[in-house]
């Protein structure tokens, strides 16, 4: 594929976005940007600082004072909080339980969105999150909205947490995801919703390989099509 495009992947918690986005980026030799990891690192920073999460101004100041970066190391995305690798600390039930509060704040989102646009400036990116197609990259050539049943998502997240050594039950995970769905879709700033022009992909019964293949083929179709049709310019259409 010659032309480099921007790909926006949005969807609810545990819909398979991150794994799909990472593998897709690898297949395309694109940069993968996990925006959820940035909000997670910001939440960790606020928790460590002991900031009262309901104090919007203080949370915003705390996020601005901490340096959150993403780096690729030997094919793996590393999330850095003030140069410390926090990959395993940001995927815990504690972070999950308060992240929706932090990510509902406009000032925090402004900070994150500015960084994310900067990262995507050169094109050739796969970015996943909640507001990528709607706010961060509204001009992305390919927008995908990934969905899956609550049960399929809870099952996937349970396995991920257990792999991380967390002892949680299926019921706890399902409750936490349902709660986050509600908060992510109902917040007033950049709520999770399908972007205009986004293609919907239901991953409930798809393997990761199948998801990657479907989106890869969509990307291929787009990169094979010239951006401007010279004939339409000639005909004045």
- # residues near ligand DC by CB under 6 A: 13
E strands, 11-93, in order: 31-34, 68-73, 76-81, 84-85
- For residue 181, state whether it binds ligand DC (rule: CB under 6 A): no
Closest listed residue to residue 1, CA positions, set 42, 35, 30? 30
Residues 133 and 143: beta-carbon distance below 8 Å: yes
> For residues 184-223, which are near ligand DC according to CB under 6 A?
184
CB of 235 to ligand DC, least distance (A): 40
Least distance (Å) between residue 14 CB and ligand DC: 7
State how far the Cα of 172 lies from the Cα of 155, in Å rounded to an integer. 11
From residue 73 to residue 102, the character string flagging contacts with ligand DC as x (rule: CB under 6 A) and all else as - is --------------------------xx--
Angle between helix 170-186 and helix 150-163 axes, rounded to 10 deg: 120
Tell me which stretch binds ligand DC (CB under 6 A): 19-27, 62-70, 128-136, 221-229: 128-136
d(CA 65, CA 50): 14
Pair 133, 145: CB distance under 8 Å: yes
Contacts (CB under 6 A) with ligand DC, residues 102-121? 103
Smallest distance, Å, CB 39 to ligand DC? 4
Contacts of 141 (CB under 8 A, 6+ apart): 5, 6, 7, 222
The helix/strand/coil state of 21 is helix
DSSP state of 132: I
- List the one residue from 131, 141, 152, 211 that touches ligand DC (CB under 6 A): 131
Q: Which is nearer to ligand DC, 13 or 125 (CB)?
A: 13
- Binding mask 26-65 toward ligand DC (x if CB under 6 A, else -) reads ---------xx--xx-------------------------
Which of 92, 177, 180, 201 is the binder for ligand DC (CB under 6 A)? 180
Specify the length of the chain in residues.
237
Cβ at position 88, least distance to ligand DC in Å: 14
**Does 16 sit near ligand DC (CB under 6 A)?**
no
Should residue 133 be labelled a site residue for ligand DC when binding is judged by CB under 6 A? no
d(CA 138, CA 55): 30
Residue of the chain from 129, 134, 148, 206 that contacts ligand DC (CB under 6 A) = 129
What is the C-alpha to C-alpha distance for residues 51 and 120, in angstroms, rounded to an integer?
A: 30
What is the contact surface with ligand DC in residues (CB under 6 A)?
13, 35-36, 39-40, 99-100, 103, 129-131, 180, 184
């Amino acid at each position: 594929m010659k032309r480099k495009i921007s790909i926006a992947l949005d969807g609810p918690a545990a819909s398979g976005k991150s794994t799909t986005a990472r593998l897709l980026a690898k297949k395309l030799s694109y940069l993968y940007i996990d925006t959820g990891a940035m909000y997670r690192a910001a939440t960790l920073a606020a928790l460590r600082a002991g900031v009262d999460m309901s104090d919007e101004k203080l949370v915003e100041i705390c996020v601005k004072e901490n340096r959150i970066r993403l780096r690729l190391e030997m094919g793996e995305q590393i999330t850095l909080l003030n140069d410390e690798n926090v990959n395993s600390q940001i995927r815990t039930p504690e972070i999950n339980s308060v992240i929706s509060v932090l990510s509902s704040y406009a000032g925090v989102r402004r900070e994150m969105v500015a960084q994310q646009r900067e990262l995507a400036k050169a094109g050739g990116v796969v970015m996943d999150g909640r507001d990528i197609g709607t706010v961060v990259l509204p001009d992305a050539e390919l927008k995908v909205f990934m969905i899956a049943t609550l049960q399929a998502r809870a099952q996937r997240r349970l396995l991920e947490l257990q792999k991380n050594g967390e002892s949680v039950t299926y019921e706890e995970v399902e409750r936490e995801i349902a709660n986050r769905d509600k908060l992510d879709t109902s917040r007033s700033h950049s709520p999770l919703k399908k972007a205009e022009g986004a293609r919907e992909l239901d991953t409930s019964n798809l393997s990761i390989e199948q998801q990657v293949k479907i989106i890869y083929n969509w990307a291929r179709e787009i990169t094979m099509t010239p951006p401007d049709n010279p004939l339409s310019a000639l005909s004045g259409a």
